Amino acid sequence: MTNLDLYAKAEHLLGIEEATEALYDLYRSELDEYKIKTLLDVGCGRGGFMQRLMSDGVTCRGVDLSQVMVDECIAKGLDAECIDIADEDGKYDAVVAIFDVLNFLNQEELLNFLDAVASRLNDDGVFIADINTLYGFSDVAEGTMSSENEKEFLVVDAVFEDEKLYTKFTLFKKENEEKNEDSRYTKYQDTIVQYFHKIRIFEKLSSLKLVEKQTFSLYDTKDKTLLIFKKR
């Protein structure tokens, strides 16, 4: 199991549903003015945003590096594939990367990713993404939390240092659910690294032009920044 697949298995225990819906609303409202017909959702997760845009008449495709997430999209009848955006062939009016996708990339990976996004956009296409602010990492994301239900127990321990957030996920999942007296827990553990990115990185791109940036509050005061780019 990759660390992204572990995240996929633990996501429902993180209590992020409300934040995710708020981000979907924000992206949807921003895209309204562009009158797009086609969209690529990079890091599409379980496909919730694609479903929203499809209800607006937009043709959507998703890519994600977690096969667990992609399988759930496919089960819902969505067009999704477990590939890197660099391996995507289509062209789209809009590309989105929702909920920290850019923060999972180091600077070299980020620049390659942004070039790949530009190559997937139609002329005058738009790319929208969000990133964590420094405050969002150091004062909001850092810390320890736990969550459980009848079958699972999750501990998340996040430490921010050297402009990187190291988040250790430890998931205990009950097996043999039909025979409770013989039930055992399987332990899954991995660490996911996220990277803080300064805005100036996005202001110097040759393939994309940063046309708007807005800092907003998702969990706390000014913990996120929305970035809107147009293809050069």
**CATH number assigned to the domain comprising residue 170:** 2.20.25.110
Q: For position 175, what pLDDT does the model report?
A: 79
Question: Is residue 117 exposed (0-12), middle (13-18) or buried (19+ Cβ within 10 Å)?
Answer: buried
- Domain span at residue 164 reads 135-195
Asked if the model's pLDDT at residue 180 lies above 70, the reply is no
Q: Residue 220 — pLDDT band, cuts 50, 70, 90?
A: confident
- Asked if residue 114 lies in contact with residue 97, where contact means CB atoms within 8 angstroms, the answer is no
Residue 87: CB atoms within 10 Å = 9
Q: Do 74 and 149 reside in the same domain of the chain? A: no
Q: Residue 68's pLDDT is what?
A: 94
Say if residue 86 is in the same domain as residue 127: yes
Asked whether 160 and 150 are in contact (CB, 8 A), the reply is: no
pTM surpassing 0.85? yes
Mean pLDDT over residues 142-156, rounded? 96
Over residues 176-182, the mean pLDDT reads: 58
Categorize the per-residue pLDDT at 66 as very low, low, confident or very high, splitting at 50, 70 and 90.
Answer: very high
**Whether residues 12 and 127 fall in one domain:** yes
Predicted pLDDT at 218:
94
Q: Which of 13, 7, 26 is nearest to 217 (CA)?
A: 26
Q: What is the pLDDT of residue 182?
A: 63
Among 174, 170, 143, which Cα is nearest to 154's? Answer: 170
The answer to whether residues 140 and 160 belong to one domain is: yes
| Judgement on whether residues 18 and 109 belong to the same structural domain of the protein | yes
Q: In terms of domains, do 43 and 91 share one?
A: yes
pLDDT above 80 for 183: no
Q: Are strands 208-216 and 224-231 parallel, antiparallel or unpaired?
A: antiparallel
Beta carbons within 8 Å of 195's beta carbon, 6+ residues apart: 103, 104, 105, 106, 107, 110, 163, 164, 165
pLDDT at site 131: 98
Asked if residue 225 and residue 124 are part of one domain, the reply reads: yes
One domain, residues 27 and 98: yes
Kindly report the CATH number assigned to the domain that includes residue 116.
3.40.50.150
Query: Residues 70, 179: one domain?
Result: no
For the chain, give the mean pLDDT: 95
The residue count of the chain comes to 232
- Are 58 and 89 within one domain? yes
**b/e per residue 26-65 (b: at least 16 CB within 10 A):** bbbebbeebebebbbbbbbbbbbbbebbbeeebebbbbbb
Q: How many folded domains does the chain comprise?
A: 2
Query: Do 139 and 118 belong together in one domain?
Result: no
Given CA atoms 194, 196, 199, 205 in this order, what sign does their dihedral have?
negative
Region 97-125: mean pLDDT is 97
For residues 47 and 153, membership in a common domain is answered with no
